[in-house]
Structure 1
Amino acid sequence: MLELFKALADPCRLRLTGVLLAGEFTVQELTRIMGMGQSRISRHLKILTEAGVLAVKRQGTWSYYRAGEDNTFFGAIRLAFERELEQIPERAKDLAALAAVLEERRRKSLEFFEGHARQWDSLSRTLLPVPDYQQRLLELVPQVSRILEIGVGTGALLPELADKAQQVIGVDHSPAMLEEARRRVLAEGQATIELRLGEMTHLPLSDAGAGCVVANMVLHHASQPLAVLQEMARVLEPGGCVVLADLARHEREWAREQLADQWLGFEEAELAEWFGGAGLEQVEMLRVAAQPGQEEVLLVRGRKKQG
């Protein structure tokens, strides 16, 4: 408790903690949000991390900071702490700067996919090969009345999903990607597939509108994975499931620039934590082994709580 009070007894560290309760950010992003130099930010982050208020996740040469769980006392007072943050004079400015950083992440991702839609399938397979996992992914998808696939890209999975449901809705934030998907759907003559423009964190579907939500190699492009999973859970009917395929943790740093990846894959533990945080239970996880030169894939399924 004493270490916690010492760590928080500084206006800048209070502001930093408030920002990181809203998501995960790098030191570079935090310098922009806070309007401070890197050395000053790094010193405050070190103090907060040592006190267990924050945690750091290292991916390649990048370090992401977020709210930690090592200080149990902070966990106990967190709700009251978050309420009091609204009294900080700089709070509105910090939240606006935070939103600007998230918007820049979104804009860069959109620009990348808009410019690479036509060659995306060959580009992703060539630069970052993975084992053949699609059949195992499809086996996790149940027969339901409506499936929602987010981040459909060029629509490669849509025809297979159409065999699993009366209706399939495909969502992507890139108009160029949706155009490629539309060409594929028309060529396949799939009348039960509908395509919609939308963001992963603001899905164009009502609450409890789908029996299954599928995310195939999408989450590592999301700036806030937990927020995406929470939105997926929102559109699920009770008892419905999320089926996800994504990269296991790797160290190919160049993927951030060449493939617009936000994350270098994921650990099983952090995916399980996010699924739980989104209200998804009965979580099943399968790691698909890779051949030399490939990256391993994680397949995950979780169900929305009943009632």
Structure 2
Amino acid sequence: MLEGQTLSVGELCDILQLPQSTISRHLKTLTDGGWAQVRREGTSRLYSLVPEDLDEASVELWRVVKAHLATMPAVAQDRVRLARVLADRRAESAAFFSRSAGEWDALRDDLYGSTFHLEGLLAVLDPSWTVADLGCGTGRTSSVLAPFVRQVVAVDASAEMLTAARGRLKAVENVDLREGALEALPIADGSVDLALLVLVLHHLGDPAAALREARRVLVPGGRLLVIDMQPHDRDEYRGQMGHVWLGFSEAQIGRLLVGAGFTGARVVPLPPAPAVRGPALFVASASARASADQAVPVR
């Protein structure tokens, strides 16, 4: 019964129609002998048998015993009851999700927060990559990226921002903080696998120059990811936060990327988060062309 699934003592009692004391005694013998494995989940103990974990002699013995048991009518009835127990378990799980559908998001947010799945998606990054966080600010994005890649090169023109980033990243060993302008990056040619510009372009007088620099530091075929604002009319942002551009349209960002030497550009609007006050955002991605001389002028 324990081969192929994990069962509790109570479930084994129902399947084998034996008292708990007898089941517990047999399980102790099996676990002491290395035949069964036990896993604790809260106050419960769950048991299983994994033939692959047995030594060669035990595996051969189990094959003989299993073949003999297959001919016994009592074992066939046990398997019927096993199927019912497993079906009841699935039904209980399905009932939980049916009851919880309306509040599932709130329940998960309460248990795990609202961004764990987004942060977990970073595990798809190649762990050998070097990533450039361009306009890193206080290092928030770099701190999230660092566990998933070989190195993060974080660049910002503001010494004060970099000081804040050093405080945040003082325990992180694979982030290299550098001061420099995004239009003249302190990064060698073709040394980066992925470049990020997160809410940066709208601060720059010459976003095309920053994108050309991003392409320069990328390996051929390296990826660029830009997050920025969609077009908006909040002119007060110019004085309040130093915005130069009031967002970018899909056509604008597409022309900028092509002109800087990127190909395969894709622009996707991002859904607004609840209760935020800022303009809508987009994410744009593209690949670096193989050669700088393949960049084309923007018209």
TM-score (normalizing by structure 2): 0.54
Q: Call closer, same or farther: CA 1:218–1:138 in 2, change over 3 Å.
A: farther
Counterpart amino acid of residue 208 in structure 1: G
Asked whether the 8 Å contact 2:254–2:265 carries over to 1, the reply is yes
Equivalent residue for 2:268, pick from 274, 278, 286: 286
The correspondence of residues 1-307 of structure 1 with structure 2, limited to 5 A, is 135=118, 142-143=125-126, 144-186=128-170, 189-290=171-272, 293-306=277-290
Paired residues of 1:140 and 1:301 also in contact (CA < 8 A): no
TM-fit CA distance, 1:160: 1.3
**Structure 1's 136 and 226: CA in aligned 2 closer, same or farther, altered over 3 A?**
farther
Give 1:94's aligned residue.
none
Flag the 1:183–1:136 CA change in 2: closer, same or farther, 3 A. Answer: closer
Q: Distance in 2 between the 1:198 and 1:177 partners?
A: 12
1:154 and 1:216, CA in 2 relative to 1: closer, same or farther beyond 3 A? same
Q: CA deviation at 1:289?
A: 2.6
> 1:137: Cα distance to partner?
12
Between the aligned partners of 2:194 and 2:253, the Cα distance in structure 1 is 18
Asked whether the 8 Å contact 1:137–1:245 carries over to 2, the reply is no
Give 3-state SS (helix, strand or coil) of 2:234's partner: coil
Please give the secondary structure, in 1, of the residue aligned with 2:232. Answer: coil
- Post-superposition Cα deviations, 1:138-195, rounded to whole Å, max 9, x if no partner, equal 7598325211111111111111111331011100011000000000001xx1100110
| CA-CA distance at 1:210 after TM superposition | 0.4
* Shift >3 Å, 4+ stretches: 134-142, 291-294
Sort the Cα spacing of 1:269 and 1:236 in 2 relative to 1 into closer, same or farther, 3 A.
same
Distance in 2 between the 1:135 and 1:258 partners?
A: 30
Identical pairs, percent: 30
Q: Separation in 1 of the partners of 2:120 and 2:268? A: 10
Distance in 1 (CA, whole Å) between partners of 2:265 and 2:119 is 16
Cα separation, partners in 2 of 1:164 and 1:284, compared to 1, 3 Å: farther
Q: Shift of the alpha carbon at 1:287?
A: 0.2
Distance between the aligned counterparts of 2:188 and 2:287, measured in 1? Answer: 18
Q: CA deviation at 1:136?
A: 8.5
Higher relative contact order (CA 8 A, sep 6+): 1
Q: Could you tell me which residue of structure 2 aligns to residue 17 of structure 1?
A: none
Structure 1 residue ranges without an equivalent (≥5): 1-131
- The one-letter amino acid paired with 1:212 is L
> Does the Cα contact within 8 Å between 1:240 and 1:304 map onto a contact in 2?
yes
SS in 1 for 2:188: coil
- The alpha-carbon distance between structure 1 residues 137 and 173, as it changes in their structure 2 partners (threshold 3 A), is farther
> The residue matched to 1:277 in structure 2 has which SS?
helix
Distance, in Å, in 1 between the alignment partners of 2:232 and 2:119 is 21
